[in-house]
């Protein structure tokens, strides 16, 4: 703005003609009455500076600013002693104490977002000396316009400030009242957390965690916080990530649905996460699923009891004894209880174990079969609990144990009576909540599995003789399934013969077993049960005649060639002796081991897999 001429030194340059002002308008012309131009200029600047200063102060209200501003205006005018001012804003008046509206008026507008929302008026409340019509200077017009602009800016700033505060307040109320946990993370550190988040992770107040890293082990339940951010790695994600986690809440385990969304906060990437407790929904879902599974199982039992079955899965047999077995299998499959299967060697115990697993709720998880007779006491932990890399020489990598492999599924303990008392105790602890540790690890793990076991002999005998812990016995034998030997269900033989022949490549011209052969098969006693029948049929198809050798035909003795080395000859002789012993005992391995003078365990190790 150009310097304003003083009252005394007003010149023609500063006193421009206003078309609205009559020729008679007075101008302060005399040098003797005008203060100097510099002091006039200082008055203007003081006024503008004072008004600008008002909105530096952020904690004051708009009316306070307007009232102070209006009081600053008269002093900048040519005749401050005659001047008064008024700001009219949105229906509200702010005026100097001496305010009086007269015909000597100067006005400017206050504008907000292009809208006329108020006015600033300066009046001379009585006629100033030497003035007729328009006593105001051109510079005062500029000054008033500058004041109007500044007040418009104050108004805009105040309104924006209010809008921001209101939106912040709305956001705060919203996030503080919602039941969902909310957290904002930037640069890997918490910038905001709401009370629900604090409650979820056992943090007493938000300040405890603000500015801490996501993985900081100090605040609240740090392990669970870190767990809920595991899915987003280093917090830099491009798209929404959702997952379900389980958190421990007082007295219960809660299912929490976590949703991480990448956002921009203060112009930089950040992560906004919500944590919703969906335990109730999840429990309802699980209950519904359990009910559906139960209905499904009941339906299957019902269907099976409606008509006589000739098979269940891979198990064949239409005899009444086998109908009873099918029913027990389906009933066992409808529960999650432990099942113990009894029957002679080769009678189909492992098939039954598979059937229970395949008809049960765990069918989509693994079925892990372990021959307990072949497990050495010293290797029990390594085999059942697994090991970590470096746990012993030769442990080049981490390896899971049977319990890890069967997690969610079934662990089938074949020849369960061969587990020693020590092994039973370790197994019991591992499955009964005590957990287990892999060799070389300090972490305790737990597993969720169903145990199905099998034995040739009644386990009660083992308990009575002190070879089985009674707690282990009760743990594994909740449901009992007894398999009949083949000699007690001979009516199933034709069905089984037909089944096995379909799987063997028959020589040209043979499509079925001749009648007399079938008669012989029906008369035979089958000490090796169905396994023996399968092997006899295989031999029959190959040799053309029946040979009831042993249930373990793999061990058929053969003459030793002269050029054989001692080690191979010893092995062959051993196999031949084992075959004979098994043949003599009708496949009963316990008796065969006794005949050979070795332990059952030693016999198992020497046997090839069935």
List residues near ligand ATP by CB under 6 A.
Answer: 314-317, 343, 345-351, 414, 454, 456, 530-531, 534, 610
For residue 534, the tally of other CB atoms under 10 A from its CB is 20
Nearer Cβ to ligand ATP (5/551): 551
Q: What's the rounded Cα separation, in Å, for the pair 360 and 330?
A: 8
- DSSP H or E segment with residue 493: helix 493-503
For residue 532, the tally of other CB atoms under 10 A from its CB is 24
Dig out the tokens for 66 from the structure: 């307007």
Nearer Cβ to ligand ATP (438/582): 582
Q: Least distance to ligand ATP from the beta carbon of 424, Å?
A: 20
Q: What's the rounded Cα separation, in Å, for the pair 324 and 606?
A: 35
Nearer Cβ to ligand ATP (373/401): 373
Nearer Cβ to ligand ATP (118/343): 343
Name the pairing type of β-strands 115-124 and 105-112: antiparallel
Q: Are 408 and 449 in contact (CB under 8 A)?
A: yes
DSSP calls for 30-57: -TTTPPPHHHHHHHHHHHHHHHHHHTT-
Q: What's the rounded Cα separation, in Å, for the pair 54 and 60?
A: 9
Q: Least distance to ligand ATP from the beta carbon of 331, Å?
A: 18
For the four alpha carbons of 158, 160, 165 and 166, in that order, the dihedral sign comes to positive
Nearer Cβ to ligand ATP (148/346): 346
SS3 content of the chain, % helix, strand, coil (to 5): 45, 20, 40
Length of the chain: 610
Q: What's the rounded Cα separation, in Å, for the pair 66 and 89?
A: 9
Nearer Cβ to ligand ATP (86/531): 531
Residue found by looking up tokens 């992770």 in the block: 201
Q: What's the rounded Cα separation, in Å, for the pair 139 and 3?
A: 8
Residue found by looking up tokens 């969906």 in the block: 278
Nearer Cβ to ligand ATP (216/350): 350
Q: What's the rounded Cα separation, in Å, for the pair 531 and 421?
A: 31
- DSSP H or E segment with residue 484: none
Give me the residues paired with residue 123 across strands. 84, 105
CA 260 to chain centre: 11
Q: What's the rounded Cα separation, in Å, for the pair 42 and 76?
A: 8
Helix axes 138-177, 37-54, angle to 10 degrees: 10
Residue nearest to ligand ATP (CB): 348
Nearer Cβ to ligand ATP (317/586): 317
Nearer Cβ to ligand ATP (316/413): 316
Q: Least distance to ligand ATP from the beta carbon of 525, Å?
A: 16
Q: Least distance to ligand ATP from the beta carbon of 364, Å?
A: 22
Nearer Cβ to ligand ATP (175/371): 371
Q: What's the rounded Cα separation, in Å, for the pair 349 and 342?
A: 7
Q: Are 363 and 357 in contact (CB under 8 A)?
A: yes
Nearer Cβ to ligand ATP (158/534): 534
Q: Least distance to ligand ATP from the beta carbon of 204, Å?
A: 59
Q: How far is CA 159 from CA 54, 277, 433, in A?
A: 15, 39, 63
Nearer Cβ to ligand ATP (203/413): 413
Q: Least distance to ligand ATP from the beta carbon of 513, Å?
A: 16
User: In what order do the strands lie in the sheet containing 115-124?
Assistant: 92-95, 83-89, 115-124, 105-112
């Amino acid at each position: 703005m150009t310097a304003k001429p003083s009252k005394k030194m007003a010149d023609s340059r500063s006193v421009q003609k206003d078309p609205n002002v009559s020729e008679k308008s007075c101008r302060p012309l005399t040098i003797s009455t005008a203060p100097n131009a510099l002091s006039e200029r200082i008055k203007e600047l003081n006024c503008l500076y004072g008004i600008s200063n008002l909105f530096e102060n952020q904690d004051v209200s708009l009316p306070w600013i307007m009232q102070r501003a209006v009081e600053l205006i008269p002093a900048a005018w040519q005749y401050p002693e005659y001047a008064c001012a008024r700001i009219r804003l949105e229906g509200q008046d702010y005026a100097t104490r001496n305010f009086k509206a007269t015909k000597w008026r100067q006005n400017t507008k206050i504008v907000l977002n292009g809208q006329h929302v108020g006015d600033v008026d300066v009046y001379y409340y009585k006629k100033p000396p030497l003035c007729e019509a328009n006593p105001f200077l051109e510079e005062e017009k500029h000054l008033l316009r500058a004041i109007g602009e500044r007040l418009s800016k104050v108004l805009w700033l105040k309104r924006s400030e209010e809008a921001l505060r209101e939106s912040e307040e709305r956001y705060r109320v919203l996030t503080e009242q919602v039941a969902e946990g909310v957290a904002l993370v930037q640069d890997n550190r918490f910038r905001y957390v709401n009370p629900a988040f604090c409650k979820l992770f056992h943090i007493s107040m938000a300040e405890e965690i603000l500015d801490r890293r996501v993985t900081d082990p100090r605040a609240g339940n740090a392990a669970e916080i870190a767990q809920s951010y595991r899915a987003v790695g280093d917090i830099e994600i491009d798209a929404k990530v959702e997952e379900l986690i389980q958190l421990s809440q007082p007295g219960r385990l809660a299912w929490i649905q976590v949703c991480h969304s990448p956002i921009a906060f203060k112009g930089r990437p950040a992560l906004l996460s919500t944590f919703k407790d969906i335990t109730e929904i999840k429990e309802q879902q699980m209950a519904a699923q359990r009910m559906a599974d139960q209905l499904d199982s009941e339906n299957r039992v019902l269907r099976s009891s409606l008509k006589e079955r000739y098979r269940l899965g891979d198990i064949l047999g239409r005899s009444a004894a086998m109908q009873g077995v099918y029913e027990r299998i389906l009933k066992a499959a409808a529960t999650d209880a432990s099942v113990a299967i009894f029957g002679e060697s080769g009678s189909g115990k492992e098939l039954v174990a598979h059937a229970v697993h395949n008809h049960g709720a765990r069918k989509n998880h693994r079925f892990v079969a372990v021959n307990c007779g072949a497990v050495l006491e010293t290797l029990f932990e390594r085999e059942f609990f697994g090991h970590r890399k470096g746990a012993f020489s030769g442990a080049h990598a981490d390896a899971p144990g049977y319990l890890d492999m069967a997690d969610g599924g079934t662990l089938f303990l074949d020849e369960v009576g061969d587990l020693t008392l020590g092994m039973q105790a370790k197994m019991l602890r591992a499955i009964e909540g005590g957990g287990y540790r892999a060799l070389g690890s300090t972490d305790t793990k737990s597993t969720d599995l169903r145990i199905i076991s099998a034995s040739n002999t009644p386990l009660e005998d083992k308990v009575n003789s002190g070879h089985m812990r009674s707690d282990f016995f009760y743990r594994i034998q909740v449901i009992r399934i007894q398999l009949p030997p083949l000699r007690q269900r001979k009516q199933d033989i034709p069905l089984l013969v037909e089944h096995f022949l379909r799987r063997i490549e028959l020589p040209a011209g043979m499509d079925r077993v001749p009648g007399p052969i079938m008669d012989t098969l029906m008369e035979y006693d089958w000490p090796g049960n169905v396994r023996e029948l399968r092997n006899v049929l295989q031999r029959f198809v190959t040799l053309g005649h029946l040979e009831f050798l042993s249930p373990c035909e793999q061990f058929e003795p053969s003459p030793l060639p002269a050029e054989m080395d001692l080690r191979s000859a010893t092995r062959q002789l051993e196999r031949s002796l084992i075959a004979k012993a098994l043949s003599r005992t009708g496949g009963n391995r316990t008796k065969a081991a006794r005949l050979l003078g070795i332990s059952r365990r030693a016999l198992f190790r020497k046997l090839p897999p069935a």
